[in-house]
Amino acid sequence: MTTDPATEDNQSAEISQTCTKSQESSDNITEGGKDKLLISIRDYVNDTTKKPQIGRVPSLLRESKNGCFDPLVVSIGPYHHGNPNLKAFEELKIPIAQKFWHACENKLSIELMYETVAMEGERARECYEKGSACNDDELFNRIMFLDACFVLYVLCTNLQEEEQNEVTERLVKSFYSVLRDLLLLENQIPLLVLKVLLKFRFRREKDQTPFKQKFPKPYILMPPHSYTNAVENFLARMKGRSTTSGQEMNKWKLELDSSPHLLHLLREHFVSPFMHEDSNKSLLFEWESRRSVTELKSAGIHFKPSQTGNFTDVEFKSHLIYGTLTLPPLIVDDTTKSFLLNLVAYEKCPHGPSDLHITSYICLMASLIHHPDDVKELEKKRILVSYLGSDEKLFQLFDEISKDLAPDSFSYAYANYQIENHCQKKLPAWVQSWMVEEWMHKYFSSPWAFLAVLGAIIALFLTAVQTYFTVFPRKT
């Protein structure tokens, strides 16, 4: 079949025109796409400075550790507001707000207090994820005001000295559940809101004398004298989980201006920069010990609690025939699982801390606890103080919360490196264990025991000398 040359020319012209239009369209699309790309990059850079400070629990973590991230008795903030299961305590917020208002030293009107909180409403809303806070400004401000009054009443009040009525009795009965709920990631209120009301509650901090008090029992505190002390005392209640000294508590320096919420503040007082890190981290990357407490004990390693209570305070010292592993003490109760996992969730959030100190601590403890007998040894050394009822439950707790968690590769790397070096010494493990248990612990556990051993050694030496001179008398 032949084709007319004129027809071929027309088809070629049409194809050429089509290609030209396509190229022009492509150029326009490319130009438009470039503009959109540059705009998106610019906007993304701007958005990074506005990340929510109070985020949601990552979905994968929630699915694997369900039941530890939702409030049991009280909702704080917008994420769980309106939950029908929390209605009982929602009804307490009005009378508790009244109690907080009556306790304010400045005796200002309730209207002024509310309006002052409402002025922070826009900044407070930016602390939550977009679309998570209610769109009604008045409702959001109401949530902020009532919830802040509730938190501060719990934070500042010694309930044992309060006049007992239906409100305080219900609060006292559920006190530990309330404390648990106040430390949930999704149950936080911006600290900027709390600070506004705290200034109504107390006189200016510079007018107050320093508040120093030891805390012999967790959760039992006297009313504070300044708003900084109020926050400090609240953290002391929660850090009562750890056996810390009153002297350390007096050294706390709270950075209220830079802390977004209470959970962040609490975390800052459970962690500190690693005090025993090796400078050459590249050499330690592969060092990860998986030896249990029982195995380490058989290798001549014994355990003792640290003095600071910080989760990062882990140190190993190798001596001539034995080693000492220092671990942070922890009080474990029914709320510990939720408490630790919410700190883990905070570390996993895009807006969260830049390190994984809490996650790494959990993984470290799980690597040491392979059996309830390991728990028993740590309890014996007062590293773990358990109120769970059995060693098996405490073993299961660390086993459950550590699943699917990945620690920082460098966390505790130097301690693990030293432990492995110690365990590879030529002295047989059973000899090290026997010498440590039977001699170091039994005979050198107190000054009197040491003096008794020393006296026995001197007596044996003198007896040997006397025997020698009896058998081989000196020639005269």
pLDDT tens-place string over residues 177-215: 998 999 999 999 999 999 888 888 775 544 333 323 322
Domain boundaries, the chain: 59-268, 281-430, 443-471
Between CA 56 and CA 78 the distance in angstroms is 11
Which residue type is seen at 371? Answer: H
pLDDT for 122 equals: 92
Q: Which of 65-79, 211-225, 311-325, 423-437 bottoms out in mean pLDDT, i.e. has the lowest?
A: 211-225
Instruction: Tell me the pLDDT tens digit for each residue of 230-272.
Output: 555 665 555 555 544 454 444 444 555 677 898 998 888 788 7
Q: Averaged over 366-383, what is the pLDDT?
A: 96
Kindly tell me if the per-residue pLDDT of 113 is higher than 80. yes
Confidence of residue 345 (pLDDT cuts 50, 70, 90): very high
Cα angle for residues 250, 253, 257 (degrees, 5° grid): 145
Residue 429 has pLDDT above 90, yes or no: no
Q: What is the pLDDT of residue 135?
A: 77
- In contact, 321 and 300? CB cutoff 8 Å: yes
- What's the mean pLDDT in 395-420? 90
**Residue 211 Cα distances to 38, 144, 153, 195, 250, angstroms:** 54, 29, 19, 18, 8
**pLDDT of residue 286 exceeding 70:** no
Nearest of 353, 346, 357 to residue 55 by alpha carbon: 346
pLDDT value of residue 117: 95
What is the identity of the amino acid at 40? S
